Chain A
């Protein structure tokens, strides 16, 4: 490589100006985008009423709360909290299991290479997407209204909220299947069921399990808060402790959640590493 001298650079600048200065239109567009972004951001700050006074006051109050939380202490509710945590885990597990079972046929229906109908495929995908637009907590609210308070509502909320998303992921996994094993099974005389069992499933199964494990992890996190709307689990205890200003116990429950989540994450990472 030769080193460019200043004179060379000046020459280069003259022959290809677009390298050294971007065209005006592009710069204007970028500037405009940044300005629009800033305007929306400032407007948003104004809308949510983020005045400096409020921030300072809130932060001092937050500091006070943190002071009240230390040291985290379960009081005499240790056993209750552990039971509630178990309930949370059970809700997440059962909800994920149900969602996975329902999502399996949905995934086969939604895969382009299984049902090669464009309109059906498009419609089903949009249907999957529509379910994703509703937060799990809203589902929990609906099921609490429908089947009453308790963990059962939480299980149903998790299952219904996740089955469509899992169905979409399953469908994508099935679409990405390598055709060669499928053709191999067919060439050696396998029927439709054989093709599914020996050609498709071995490729798809690890991917599906890994998705399901991810969903289980995320469901453990979301199941911890479903209790806030009365759908069982540790969230009810947490929001209760906060309501009666028992911040030490609230902090203990938060720590319990953190601990459980990290244990579950570790476990599922190990299973995933073994399977995939």
Chain B
């Protein structure tokens, strides 16, 4: 900027040194304010850190003492596997495989049914929660708040309440998963809807479609691959979540795992956890494959 002005000849009196000096001065000032802000944020961070260390009883001696204990605990859960009697040891370790597999199936089913129910509820709520699809701000506001409520109350709290209302067992867990899933998926679906291409929507409207028709023919076809992608992602999360819900008595292998941890049945803990990890791993891979195929198909359709 300054070179432009000087080339016009209006500011030719400023010498090179003066300009350089003023530039240096401004640079120093900018650097100073920047450093001051960084320092301030750093101080805030340190203050928060110190406060949380005090509040949460965190102490280095505690850590030094606790970590070996935690490690001993983890090491204690590992089974003794010998090479001579490998399969016998393996069978000993997984002595209850038949029951556990049944419970594992229950956990997966809980995740599946919960995801489907939550997905349906999310689909019902996502259209009124999209700003570009509803004119009535009251409906939009109500739908948004409902989704927010569903998603912010922890799944486990819903599970606690539902266990109280519907009795112990996987049914309460499925409902808790469904409500939570509806909240988080509904928000994501609404975001997809808001990014939807308005032309098909206007097209359906112009040819006389009513609101449900616009949603069904204008919005859903372009948003469906993304919906399914998020649904699959959520399914994987929910299978993991279902394993935790067992802790409050909502069924599945989590309940069994909880009993094992409480009663210090060491090798059972590692056996069940390994099963859980493997299951989520396999589901993760399957869902990812399907997702990539879906998104790929979508891309080729657009091209």
Which secondary structure dominates where chain B touches chain A?
Answer: helix
Query: How far apart are the CA atoms of A228 and B66 in the complex, in Å?
Result: 21
Closest to B250 in A: A48
CB proximity of A223 to chain B, nearest CB, Å: 10
A94 near B169 with CB under 8 A, answer no
A147 near B62 with CB under 8 A, answer yes
Closest to B276 in A: A133
A58 / chain B contacts, CB cutoff of 8 Å: 162, 165-167, 171
Query: How far apart are the CA atoms of A28 and B264 in the complex, in Å?
Result: 51
B141 / chain A contacts, CB cutoff of 8 Å: none
Interface set, chain A 173-193, CB cutoff 8 A to B: none
User: How extensive is the interface on chain A, given as a class?
Assistant: 35 or more
B261 near A142 with CB under 8 A, answer yes
CB proximity of A70 to chain B, nearest CB, Å: 14
B247 near A137 with CB under 8 A, answer yes
Which among A11-19, A37-45, A71-79, A116-124 touches the partner chain? Answer: A37-45
A9 within 8 A of B: no
A197 within 8 A of B: no
Interface set, chain A 124-148, CB cutoff 8 A to B: 129-130, 132-138, 141-143, 145-147
B73 near A142 with CB under 8 A, answer yes
A8 within 8 A of B: no
Which secondary structure dominates where chain A touches chain B?
Answer: helix
B133 within 8 A of A: no
B170 within 8 A of A: yes
B109 near A225 with CB under 8 A, answer no
A225 near B154 with CB under 8 A, answer yes
B152 near A261 with CB under 8 A, answer yes
A257 near B153 with CB under 8 A, answer yes
B206 within 8 A of A: no
B153 near A239 with CB under 8 A, answer no
Q: List 11 A-B contacts (CB under 8 A).
A: A44-B110, A86-B55, A90-B56, A93-B52, A130-B277, A143-B70, A156-B70, A224-B157, A228-B156, A258-B152, A262-B152
A-binding residues in B (CB < 8 A):
48-49, 51-59, 62, 65-66, 69-70, 72-74, 106, 109-110, 112-113, 116, 148-149, 152-154, 156-157, 160-162, 164-167, 169-171, 173-174, 240-241, 243-244, 247-248, 251, 254, 257-258, 261, 264, 269, 273, 276-281, 284
